[in-house]
A and B are shown apart, each in its own frame.
Chain A
Amino acid sequence: MPTTEARPRFFHLTALLLGLMLLGACQGDYPQSSIDPRTDFAETIHSLYVQVTVWTLAILVVVWGVLAYVVIRFRENPNRPAPKQTHGHLGLEIAWTIVPALIVVAIAIPTIRAVFETQTELEGDPLIVEIIGHRYWWEVRYPESGVTTANEIHLPAGRPVTLQMNSADVVHSFWVPQLGGKRDVNPLRRVGPEGEVRGYTYLYFTVREPGVFLGQCAEFCGEGHSLMRMRVVAESESDFNAWLADWQEPSATATAPPPPQDTTIQTPAEDPLVTLGRQTLFTSTCVACHAIQGAPAVGVLGPNLTRIGGRMTIGAGLLENTPENLFRWIKDPASIKPGVQMPGAQEGGGGFPPTNLTDDQIRAIAAYLSSLR
């Protein structure tokens, strides 16, 4: 009968799929994989994951095995006598209550241990990084050094890190799978007569080796949610410190170079496009939301652009950082990222009017921004 033949076929199919999945775990490049741990935090989760997966697969095999046996063995057969009318068996009931209970305990103990372990701040002078979720980008602050950047989080490998997170608007969730589990990023609130601030959430981990890791927002936060991406750049501690020291200073081209004192010495002239872009930017509405350290741009609503030219991507991990892409982005960000809170040249956005910049002006601004390294 077709049903009994088809069932084992299904098992083959499932086994094949499971096998493919396990195989897939070992090969190919999955930059946002949750089973490729690169921190102590992610390793704790991963070892638990492997353990629980083994338990559950074992149970699955047993249950499916028995089910398949019963379905084949006890299919309707007129040659067998009518079934015995059994109503139950106390011993069996006790057995299949206790066995699952024991398995559950075996899973719960390491789970609860890991729950406490992963929510404790790490010893050894952790680097504190403040993450602020915005619709639809990530603000990154290094409070000890005063550096503010966006969407690209530089971290030292080998040194413990504490991410202190909150949201500027709605609930987001910070998730870079190779660094470990996600944690919601909640808006802060003031409670009590003293106006005490509550609502920070934290992640604690130490990145093992340098590398670039992808992540994105994992709590639905609106139209642009799926494009709220980020990158973590883990570097050796010395590289990281050099990066941090660099980014504490304004970019060399942030402001116009001072007029040369001695006109006899030839200094290389600045690209006129950069000069034009700088002038255009400072007189545009862009500076109402964006800040550039050392320059007359101090807006706080949008991402800080201090060394935007030195970032790998723009638009919260969406586009490669090239002058051409910057041009596209400034001209019409909503066409690239629906829901974006930034106005374009012709169309407003996020409640702001259009910037009314011409293509030439935008090209100049893009050149200026690219120069900010």
Chain B
Amino acid sequence: MSAHNNGIWSWITTVDHKRIGVMYFVTALVFFVIAGVEALVIRIQLWRPENDFISAETYSQMFTMHGTTMIFLVAMPMAVAFFNFIVPLQIGARDVAFPRLNALSYWTFLFGGIFLNSSFLFGAAPNTSWVAYANLTSSQFSPGHNVDFWLLGLSILGISSIMGGVNFITTIINLRAPGMKLMRMPLFTWMTLVTSFILVTALPVLAVALILLAFDRFFGANFYQPMAGGDPILWQHLFWIFGHPEVYILILPSFGVISDVIPTFSRKPLFGYPIVVYAGIMIGFLGWGVWSHHMFTTGLGPIADAFFVASTMIIAIPTGVKICNWIATMWGGQIRFTTAMLYCIGLLAIFTLGGLSGIMHASAPIDLQQHDTHFVVAHFHYVVAGGVMMGLFAGLYYWFPKVTGRFMDERLGKINFWTYFVGFNLTFFPMHISGIYGMPRRTWTYAAELNIALPNMLSTIGAFIFALSALILVYTIIKSAISGEPAGPNPWNAATLEWSIPSPPPHYNFAEIPTVRSREPLWREEERREIEAVTLKVPDVEPVMPNSSYMPILLAFGVALTWGLVMTGKWWAPVIGLSYVGVCILMWAFEDPFARKGA
């Protein structure tokens, strides 16, 4: 059984959701560092007007890869890391519904990320921004493989996300412990469920957009080519029909995290649990009806603009309700300022600001000024680097003891948080100002006469403080994993099921599946004793867990290989990859995950 040994092969072949979660996190952290370096290069270039630290072409590659990496290779997979590790523990399951598929998701993600970044080796990193507006991406205006790497890389990552979404929907619907009714699920599990539904519905839209683009580029189709009657605006619609739900794919997991962390460190149940759940569902649902607020400048006409103004403003309401409920949870509590809690409070403060600047450009005429300026760059970093990432780091500090059996170093954690908070605000607040004074985004340099050198310098200084914080974080993780203070099963005295089992959990998670009778099972003395009686005991016979498998990594490699061969432009080349994939699928189908070794 894989979890009994720790060799490298046991990790490569693992189907254990906890190990896959750890691999997701570590991989995302590596990409986080890469994207951070890209951000620093951007900020050095913008340090002063008319700078030429890097060329315009390199600059385009930097901001394209920074955005693409942060969204698809950092924020999403880091959330998925928590889905993986935490959700089965929160609902009282031994693993996800499809363990091998879960491993396939991870390896596909890893190969997709490597594929995308390998473009640097060919000097052909994507350079048309993370939104890659048509028809700039056509073979005419973007010869070379830059756009190919981008669209094929994202297609691979999309496959990973869709498989993950299917897996978590199935897991949450089907594998809950007895008594774990939907309205007793911890908020993080709830938000994972909502996010998973968005994943399986939004990513296919991106896939369609990318496939059309692939046809344009590889086979001379004209979906986005105006000269041939195609429509570049079609790309904008498809991209944002995916792109706006994507925003909620990013933020809802963090909302879930803080909905679990805030009650723990306030010593009070979540205020208005059903309202917070419904608000999350509302946001996930309404998120589908607002995409054209990214297109107010496109020229869709006043009727479309008015509709999307209204729908966008409506979505502010459930978000505001959530913030009120979190603050109400803290009201009257006994707030413990652990690093996890500090990140939650930081999220509340910063996300509110980012949400409110969002209201400003939800007003279409104002957006005509702010769109595509550094004001918008400030806005979405407030909600993503402030909101999403702070939520995920809250989750990191909160669940690290569960994952490793050791506390994160709280002293370093405080330093990490405060450098993050100061660096973040110093980086992004001045961008409101440079944007207001006329600095468009995605510009390699700016004219001295615009008089925006000062805010840019502040941003660059802030970025280095921010980077320092990231280094401290990485150091804290490594140090704590090796020599952190040991933590018991429930070091924070939290209420939910994942804290009822040992830290780190045994590979089968629950010796016996407990029965749940309330929303905060570990906060009710009698229920806690009942649950811990079965979850903390060492079973006489270990539960049977699925075998490890080589198939996920082999199949995932085939997917990346096939996509890579598409780039050769020879019709028969991807067929080689497809044949390999076919063989892998067959072998997968005939592999018995419960076959006894040596039998």
Residues of A within 8 A of B (CB): 1-4, 6, 10, 13-14, 17, 21, 24-25, 28-35, 44-45, 48-49, 52-53, 55-57, 59-60, 63-64, 66-67, 70-71, 74-77, 80, 82-89, 92-93, 96-97, 100-101, 104, 107-108, 111-112, 114-116, 118-119, 135, 169-171, 173, 175, 177, 180-184, 186-191, 199, 201-202, 214, 216-227, 229, 338-339
15 A-B pairs whose Cβ atoms sit less than 8 Å apart in the complex: A21-B433, A31-B450, A34-B437, A74-B266, A74-B331, A74-B332, A100-B320, A107-B313, A107-B363, A170-B141, A170-B232, A171-B232, A189-B226, A189-B231, A227-B445
Would you call B298 and A184 a contact (CB within 8 A)?
Answer: yes
Find chain A residues with CB under 8 A from B231 CB: 189
Name the residue in A57, A64, A70 with the highest tally of chain B Cβ atoms < 10 Å from its Cβ. A70
Would you call B141 and A89 a contact (CB within 8 A)?
Answer: no
Q: A17-B429, A115-B302, A184-B297 are in contact. Are A218 and B330 (CB under 8 A)?
A: no
Q: Closest chain B residue to A24 by CB distance?
A: B433
Other-chain residue from A24, A52, A85, A175 in contact with B366 (beta carbon distance below 8 A): A52
Other-chain residue from A3, A217, A220 in contact with B128 (beta carbon distance below 8 A): A220
Would you call B232 and A187 a contact (CB within 8 A)?
Answer: yes
Find chain B residues with CB under 8 A from A169 CB: 135, 141
- Give the complex CA separation of A224 and B363 in angstroms: 30
Q: Nearest chain A CB to B525's CB is how many angstroms away?
A: 13
- Give the complex CA separation of A44 and B128 in angstroms: 33
Instruction: Give the A-B contact count at a CB cut-off of 8 A.
Output: 299
Q: Nearest chain A CB to B133's CB is how many angstroms away?
A: 6
Q: Nearest chain B CB to A104's CB is how many angstroms away?
A: 4
Would you call B57 and A338 a contact (CB within 8 A)?
Answer: yes
Would you call A338 and B363 a contact (CB within 8 A)?
Answer: no
Would you call A111 and B363 a contact (CB within 8 A)?
Answer: yes
Would you call B323 and A92 a contact (CB within 8 A)?
Answer: no
Would you call B272 and A93 a contact (CB within 8 A)?
Answer: yes
Would you call B266 and A83 a contact (CB within 8 A)?
Answer: yes
Name the residue in B226, B313, B441 with the highest tally of chain A Cβ atoms < 10 Å from its Cβ. B226
Q: A3-B337, A219-B133 are in contact. Are A115 and B360 (CB under 8 A)?
A: no
Q: Closest chain A residue to B318 by CB distance?
A: A97
Q: Nearest chain B CB to A295's CB is how many angstroms away?
A: 31
- Give the complex CA separation of A108 and B298 in angstroms: 20
Would you call A31 and B449 a contact (CB within 8 A)?
Answer: yes
Q: Closest chain A residue to B332 by CB distance?
A: A83
Find chain B residues with CB under 8 A from A118 CB: 365, 368
- Give the complex CA separation of A17 and B353 in angstroms: 14
Would you call B269 and A97 a contact (CB within 8 A)?
Answer: no
Other-chain residue from A14, A170, A225 in contact with B135 (beta carbon distance below 8 A): A170
Find chain A residues with CB under 8 A from B226 CB: 186-189, 199
- Give the complex CA separation of A112 and B304 in angstroms: 11
Q: A83-B332, A100-B316 are in contact. Are A186 and B233 (CB under 8 A)?
A: yes
Shortest beta-carbon contacts, A-B, top 6: A181-B368, A32-B438, A226-B443, A201-B299, A189-B226, A338-B56
- Give the complex CA separation of A80 and B266 in angstroms: 13
Find chain A residues with CB under 8 A from B342 CB: 3
Would you call B297 and A104 a contact (CB within 8 A)?
Answer: no
- Give the complex CA separation of A199 and B298 in angstroms: 10
Find chain A residues with CB under 8 A from B438 CB: 30-34, 177, 214
Is B444 in contact with chain A by the CB < 8 A criterion? yes
Would you call B366 and A48 a contact (CB within 8 A)?
Answer: yes
Is B564 in contact with chain A by the CB < 8 A criterion? no
Contact residues of B: prevailing secondary structure = helix
Find chain A residues with CB under 8 A from B320 CB: 96, 100
- Report B113-131 CB contacts with A as 1/0, cut-off 8 Å: 0000000000000001100
User: Which interface class (under 10, 10 to 19, 20 to 34, 35 or more) fits B?
Assistant: 35 or more
Find chain B residues with CB under 8 A from A6 CB: 418
Would you call A14 and B317 a contact (CB within 8 A)?
Answer: no
Would you call B136 and A171 a contact (CB within 8 A)?
Answer: yes
Is B259 in contact with chain A by the CB < 8 A criterion? no
Other-chain residue from A34, A35, A64 in contact with B352 (beta carbon distance below 8 A): A64
- Give the complex CA separation of A182 and B136 in angstroms: 19
Find chain B residues with CB under 8 A from A34 CB: 369-370, 373, 435-438
Extra A-B contacts (18), CB below 8 Å, given A21-B433, A32-B450, A75-B337: A49-B360, A66-B327, A70-B330, A70-B331, A74-B330, A83-B268, A88-B272, A89-B272, A93-B321, A97-B317, A116-B306, A171-B133, A182-B372, A202-B299, A214-B438, A225-B443, A226-B445, A227-B444
- Report B441-464 CB contacts with A as 1/0, cut-off 8 Å: 111111101111000000000000
- Give the complex CA separation of A74 and B367 in angstroms: 39
Other-chain residue from B323, B366, B425 in contact with A45 (beta carbon distance below 8 A): B366
Would you call B230 and A189 a contact (CB within 8 A)?
Answer: yes
Would you call B432 and A182 a contact (CB within 8 A)?
Answer: no
Name the residue in B55, B367, B444 with the highest tally of chain A Cβ atoms < 10 Å from its Cβ. B444
Would you call B369 and A49 a contact (CB within 8 A)?
Answer: yes
Q: Nearest chain B CB to A21's CB is how many angstroms away?
A: 5
Is B595 in contact with chain A by the CB < 8 A criterion? no
- Give the complex CA separation of A66 and B329 in angstroms: 12
- Give the complex CA separation of A4 and B336 in angstroms: 11
Q: Nearest chain B CB to A7's CB is how many angstroms away?
A: 8
Is B371 in contact with chain A by the CB < 8 A criterion? yes
Find chain A residues with CB under 8 A from B309 CB: 108, 111-112, 115
Find chain B residues with CB under 8 A from A55 CB: 359
- Give the complex CA separation of A33 and B373 in angstroms: 11
Find chain A residues with CB under 8 A from B232 CB: 170-171, 186-187
Would you call A101 and B345 a contact (CB within 8 A)?
Answer: no
Q: Nearest chain B CB to A300's CB is how many angstroms away?
A: 16
Is B271 in contact with chain A by the CB < 8 A criterion? yes
Find chain A residues with CB under 8 A from B136 CB: 170-171, 220-222
Q: Nearest chain A CB to B35's CB is how many angstroms away?
A: 19
- Give the complex CA separation of A12 and B334 in angstroms: 26
Q: A24-B433, A49-B369, A226-B56 are in contact. Are A71 and B345 (CB under 8 A)?
A: yes
Find chain B residues with CB under 8 A from A111 CB: 309, 363-366
Would you call B56 and A107 a contact (CB within 8 A)?
Answer: no
Q: Nearest chain A CB to B371's CB is how many angstroms away?
A: 6
Would you call B368 and A45 a contact (CB within 8 A)?
Answer: yes
Other-chain residue from B268, B429, B450 in contact with A86 (beta carbon distance below 8 A): B268
Would you call A214 and B449 a contact (CB within 8 A)?
Answer: yes
- Give the complex CA separation of A52 and B365 in angstroms: 11
Would you call B141 and A107 a contact (CB within 8 A)?
Answer: no
Would you call B369 and A93 a contact (CB within 8 A)?
Answer: no
Is B324 in contact with chain A by the CB < 8 A criterion? yes
Q: Nearest chain B CB to A320's CB is how many angstroms away?
A: 11
Would you call A214 and B450 a contact (CB within 8 A)?
Answer: yes
- Give the complex CA separation of A6 and B60 in angstroms: 38
- Give the complex CA separation of A188 and B372 in angstroms: 22
Q: Nearest chain B CB to A202's CB is how many angstroms away?
A: 8
Q: Closest chain B residue to A199 by CB distance?
A: B226
Other-chain residue from B332, B418, B437 in contact with A32 (beta carbon distance below 8 A): B437
Q: A2-B414, A32-B438 are in contact. Are A76 and B335 (CB under 8 A)?
A: yes
Would you call B425 and A181 a contact (CB within 8 A)?
Answer: no
Other-chain residue from A64, A87, A135, A220 in contact with B133 (beta carbon distance below 8 A): A220
Find chain A residues with CB under 8 A from B372 CB: 173, 175, 182, 218-220
Find chain B residues with CB under 8 A from A219 CB: 133, 297, 372
Would you call B135 and A187 a contact (CB within 8 A)?
Answer: yes
Q: A52-B366, A220-B133 are in contact. Are A87 and B56 (CB under 8 A)?
A: no
Would you call A82 and B321 a contact (CB within 8 A)?
Answer: no
Find chain B residues with CB under 8 A from A93 CB: 272, 275, 321, 325
Q: Nearest chain A CB to B80's CB is how many angstroms away?
A: 29
Q: Nearest chain B CB to A50's CB is how many angstroms away?
A: 10
Q: Closest chain A residue to B520 by CB distance?
A: A85
Would you call B135 and A56 a contact (CB within 8 A)?
Answer: no
